[in-house]
Structure 1
Amino acid sequence: MHVMILEDDVWISDLLRQIVHSLRPQAQISCKTSVTAALDEWQSNPADLVICDWNLPDGPGTRLLERIRKQDTQVPLVMITGRADRDSVLEVRSLRVSAFISKPFQVPKVLDCLDRLLPATSSLSPSFATAVERFADFLAEQTSENLDMPLQAGSFARLVALGKQPAELRGLYEIACEEPAITARLLAAANGAQYSNGGSACMNVHEALQVLGVATSLNVALGLTLRPEAELQDPELILMAQEQFGQTQSLCKRVADLATACRIDPAPLHSAALLHRMGELCVLAQAQLWRDKGHSLSLEDLSHALANSSSELAGRLKAHWRLPIPLRDLIGACYALPAINTRREAILMHLAATELSGQADPTKLARLHRLVGLN
Structure 2
Amino acid sequence: MTAVDVSTAPSVLIAETDPWSRDLLKQVVLSVRCDARLDVCGEGQEAIALLGDTRYDLVIADWDLSGVSGLDLLRHVRQRRRSPVLPFILLSNRNDSASVREALPLAPTAYLTKPLDMPGLTQRLQGLLLSAGQEVACDVPALTPGMTLKRFLEHRRASSDGAPLLADVQLAVKRSLNPGGLDLKLLEQEVRTDPQITAVLIAAANSAAQHRASPVQTLAQALQRLGPAQSMNLVLGLTLKRSARLSDPCLADYAEHYWNASLHTAEYGRTLARMLSLDQERCYCAGLLHRLGDLALLRCLQEWLQAGGALDTQAIDESLAEFGAAYGSALRTRWRLPLELRELIAAIYHLGGGVYSREALLMNLAGQVASLQPEEGVDAVAKSKTARLLKVGVPELERLVKKA
Do they superpose with TM above 0.5?
A: yes
Residue 113 (structure 1) shift? 1.5
CA RMSD of aligned residues (A): 2.3
Residue 327 (structure 1) shift? 0.6
Q: Residue 111 of structure 1 aligns with which residue?
A: 122
Q: Which one of 41, 60, 64 corresponds to residue 32 of structure 1?
A: 41
Q: Which one of 200, 210, 220 corresponds to residue 185 of structure 1?
A: 200
Count of matched residue pairs: 373
In structure 2, what is the Cα distance between the partners aligned to 1:372 and 1:2? Answer: 58
Residue 85 (structure 1) shift? 5.3
SS in 1 for 2:388: helix
Moved more, 269-278 or 39-48: 39-48
In structure 1, what is the Cα distance between the partners aligned to 2:175 and 2:88? Answer: 30
Per-residue CA deviation, residues 291-349 of structure 1 (Å, 9 max, x unaligned), is 22232222221211111111111111011110111111110111101311111111111
- Call closer, same or farther: CA 1:107–1:123 in 2, change over 3 Å: closer
Residue 45 (structure 1) shift? 2.0
The 5 A counterparts of 1:328-367 are 328-358=342-372, 362=379, 365-366=382-383, 367=385
Moved more, 290-299 or 154-163: 154-163
- Call closer, same or farther: CA 1:206–1:322 in 2, change over 3 Å: same
Q: Residue 213 of structure 2 aligns with which residue?
A: 198
Q: Is the contact between residue 20 and residue 114 of structure 1 (CA under 8 Å) also seen in structure 2?
A: yes
Q: Residue 387 of structure 2 aligns with which residue?
A: 369
In structure 1, what is the Cα distance between the partners aligned to 2:175 and 2:12? Answer: 28
Q: Is the contact between residue 156 and residue 231 of structure 1 (CA under 8 Å) also seen in structure 2?
A: no
- Call closer, same or farther: CA 1:46–1:159 in 2, change over 3 Å: farther
Residue 86 (structure 1) shift? 5.3
Q: Residue 43 of structure 1 aligns with which residue?
A: 52
In structure 2, what is the Cα distance between the partners aligned to 1:363 and 1:88? Answer: 66
> Which has the greater radius of gyration?
2
Q: Is the contact between residue 165 and residue 196 of structure 2 (CA under 8 Å) also seen in structure 1?
A: yes
- Call closer, same or farther: CA 1:363–1:290 in 2, change over 3 Å: closer
Q: Aligned partner of 1:23: which letter?
A: V
Q: Aligned partner of 2:212: which letter?
A: N
Runs of 4+ in 1 over 6 A off after TM superposition: none
The 5 A counterparts of 1:93-104 are 93-104=104-115
What fraction of aligned residue pairs are identical, expressed as a percent? 31
Q: Is the contact between residue 157 and residue 330 of structure 2 (CA under 8 Å) also seen in structure 1?
A: no
Return the TM-score normalized by structure 1: 0.92
Q: Residue 75 of structure 1 aligns with which residue?
A: 86
Residue 350 (structure 1) shift? 0.8
Q: Which one of 129, 135, 139 corresponds to residue 142 of structure 2?
A: 129
In structure 1, what is the Cα distance between the partners aligned to 2:247 and 2:45? Answer: 42
- Call closer, same or farther: CA 1:77–1:196 in 2, change over 3 Å: closer
Moved more, 133-142 or 218-227: 133-142
- Call closer, same or farther: CA 1:143–1:343 in 2, change over 3 Å: closer
In structure 2, what is the Cα distance between the partners aligned to 1:229 and 1:66? Answer: 39
Q: Aligned partner of 1:97: which letter?
A: P
SS in 1 for 2:164: coil
Gaps of 5+ in 2: 1-9, 394-404
Q: Is the contact between residue 163 and residue 218 of structure 1 (CA under 8 Å) also seen in structure 2?
A: no
Q: Aligned partner of 2:106: which letter?
A: L
Gaps of 5+ in 1: none
In structure 2, what is the Cα distance between the partners aligned to 1:373 and 1:10? Answer: 44
Matched, 1:21 2:30: yes
The 5 A counterparts of 1:1-375 are 1-69=10-78, 70-73=80-83, 74-84=85-95, 87-119=98-130, 123-131=136-144, 133-142=147-156, 144-152=158-166, 154-159=167-172, 161=174, 166-199=181-214, 201-358=215-372, 362=379, 365-366=382-383, 367-375=385-393
- Call closer, same or farther: CA 1:123–1:13 in 2, change over 3 Å: closer
